[in-house]
Amino acid sequence: MPLSCIKVLLLVSCVPQRLKPLECSSFLNQETIVTAILRSLAFVLISIGLVAGARAADRPNVILIMADDVSWECFGCYGAQDYKTPNIDRLAAQGVRFQHCYSTPICTPSRVKIMTGKYGFRNYSHFGYLNPKEKTFGHMMQDAGYRTAIAGKWQLNGLYNTLPGSDDPTRPQKAGFDESLLWQVTRGKGGDGGERFWDPPLEHNGKFITKEENAGKYGPDLLTDFVCDFIERNQEEPFFVYYPMVLVHDPFVPTPDNLGDRPINHALNKAPKGYDAKKENFVAMVNYMDKLIGKIADKVDELGLGEETIIMFTADNGTNTGIRSQWNGTEIRGGKAGMKDNGTHVPFVARWTGHTPKGKVLSDLIDFTDFYATLSDAAGRQKTVDDPIDGRSFFPQLNGQEGNRRQWVLCHYQCYWNKAPGQYARTAQYKLYRDGRYYDVPMDLDEANDLGGSVDGEAANVRKELAFLLKQCPPVPSGKLGRTAKERPLYPETPNLLD
């Protein structure tokens, strides 16, 4: 129960003890006095409620959930046909659904971008690494007086490059999180590490929990239970939860809901052979992910925190390329690691009971750099010189207001993981790559028809504006550079692109 409600109950219980016995001989006088007292009490209670409501509106709790390797074609509210996502669909019906949210094509660049509010040319250097000198939204929310927690997939210590501090189990705390339960902090999959699903090795507030200690347990359940427990323990003060889920990354393995009579052990983490078996497990993983998100939303509502809590759900990049899904009568192949729409266009729904318009679909552009600025506004902070300059807050849109809409989003991508790099700027309709390719994306999702420079009217004007924007950005280092790439670019100072 929220603290404001407890205070109201205590006030109601104490009032009769403070009243002197009525000395009026007339029942009418007694009734008049009682009525006056009740009116005064009602005024006090309403005032308390208004103050509590204002406090909740000014500094709401925030739960940011980010799924791993799954995009818009896998959710019912976006037109999916192969999956059942009633809980995410329910959040969209109770809140707002954004049609145009954009990440980067693969996990680490997206995670660094959303956590720091910066484009990759400002702070990205290695796959699987967040520079500990970077200020994250965890630090920012702590400074604003929030209790902070992170659960799920970390993969930011620099394990793949054995960078300094890669064996530091307290790196999540140093990144601004009071509490943590994470996979892949100081261990990878080999050695004494292991897979994230069945019998998962996890690290809890810096303490390593072996896969033997978690034998018979399902990682996503443990992580979600941690989130729910943190919410319940911190319901009396503002809290921020960042939950980068381990679902639905490969290997595509059974969940508790489609396990059948198979024995539970670490061998369950091996994906089956054949596309149909893998797709069956992938569908089950998407459905189970939705179930866990419903569990978190139900916990918020059970505690009466709906009006005090913003729940946001998005994903880090496109779906695995080995998965094909039916969407609005069309087959969509997963686009992870690619620059096309199915690689960087991700789902985003948000619910803040009593604030977000119910069931509204917004065409506003959302860039992953915008989350930091939005959390800052939610916390009631004043922007400082230490804050990133790349993002634009969409907090007004969560309050049903128009907000200061951005006109473009930008993707700068070189992940140093043997993937093709790229850079584009786009609006909701048009998309321009650094090399000059130009597409009308809604009419050409697969980007097969390059408009080039042979456009006029609005298309020509937009192309000119996007080209000017890209000229302000440093180019992406070319080539499929891997983790052994020795030279990391020292990008030139890049101005504020929004102003």
pLDDT tens, residue order, the chain (499 aa)? 444 444 333 333 333 333 333 333 343 344 444 445 445 554 444 444 443 444 445 799 999 999 999 999 999 999 999 999 999 999 999 999 999 999 999 999 999 999 999 999 999 999 999 999 999 999 999 999 999 999 999 999 999 999 999 999 999 999 999 999 999 999 999 888 999 999 999 999 999 999 999 999 999 999 999 999 999 999 999 999 999 999 999 999 999 999 999 999 999 999 999 999 999 999 999 999 999 999 999 999 999 999 999 999 999 999 999 999 999 999 999 999 999 999 999 999 999 999 999 999 999 999 999 999 999 999 999 988 889 999 999 999 999 999 999 999 999 999 999 999 999 999 999 999 999 999 999 999 999 999 988 899 999 999 999 999 999 999 999 899 998 876 677 788 888 898 6
Q: How far is CA 407 from CA 36, 103, 121, 169, 395, in A?
A: 57, 16, 20, 41, 16
User: Is residue 217 one of the residues assigned to a domain?
Assistant: yes
Rounded distance, CA 30 to CA 20, Å? 12
User: Is residue 52 one of the residues assigned to a domain?
Assistant: yes
Domain match, 464 and 388 both? no
Amino acid at 422: G
Cβ atoms within 10 Å, residue 371: 27
Rounded distance, CA 473 to CA 425, Å? 10
Q: Within 13 Å and on the Cβ side, how many CA atoms surround 320?
A: 17
Domain match, 47 and 84 both? no
Model pTM?
0.89
Among 380, 407, 434, residue at a domain's last position? 407
CATH number, domain at 403?
A: 3.40.720.10
Among 407, 432, 455, residue at a domain's last position? 407
Amino acid at 47: S
User: Is residue 485 one of the residues assigned to a domain?
Assistant: no
Long-range contacts formed by 119-122: CB under 8 A, 24+ apart: 119/369, 119/390, 119/410, 119/412, 119/473, 119/494, 120/412, 120/413, 120/414, 121/412, 121/473, 121/474, 121/476, 121/489, 121/491, 121/494, 122/388, 122/390, 122/491, 122/494
Give Cβ neighbours of residue 448 (< 8 Å, ≥ 6 apart).
none
Domain match, 191 and 318 both? yes
User: Is residue 20 one of the residues assigned to a domain?
Assistant: no
Q: Per the structure, how many domains does the chain have?
A: 3
Rounded distance, CA 227 to CA 457, Å? 51
User: Is residue 489 one of the residues assigned to a domain?
Assistant: no
Domain match, 99 and 139 both? yes
Which residues are registered as beta bridge partners of 349?
97, 313
Domain match, 355 and 387 both? yes
Cα angle 112, 394, 438 (rounded to 5 degrees) comes to 70
The alpha-helical segments, DSSP class H, found in 69-127 are 86-94, 107-116, 120-123
Domain match, 149 and 39 both? no
Domain match, 227 and 158 both? yes
Give helix 275-302 / helix 219-233 axis angle, nearest 10°.
10
Domain that holds residue 319: 61-407
Domain match, 279 and 161 both? yes
Judge whether 77 and 97 are in contact, CB under 8 Å. yes
Domain match, 131 and 275 both? yes
Judge whether 432 and 493 are in contact, CB under 8 Å. no
Type and span of the H or E element at 367: strand 360-367
User: Is residue 459 one of the residues assigned to a domain?
Assistant: yes
Domain match, 95 and 205 both? yes
Domain match, 128 and 268 both? yes
User: Is residue 74 one of the residues assigned to a domain?
Assistant: yes
User: Is residue 109 one of the residues assigned to a domain?
Assistant: yes
Among 407, 430, 451, residue at a domain's last position? 407
Report how far Cα 23 is from the mean position of its chain's Cα atoms: 62
Cβ atoms within 10 Å, residue 141: 27
Judge whether 463 and 439 are in contact, CB under 8 Å. no
Domain match, 305 and 452 both? no
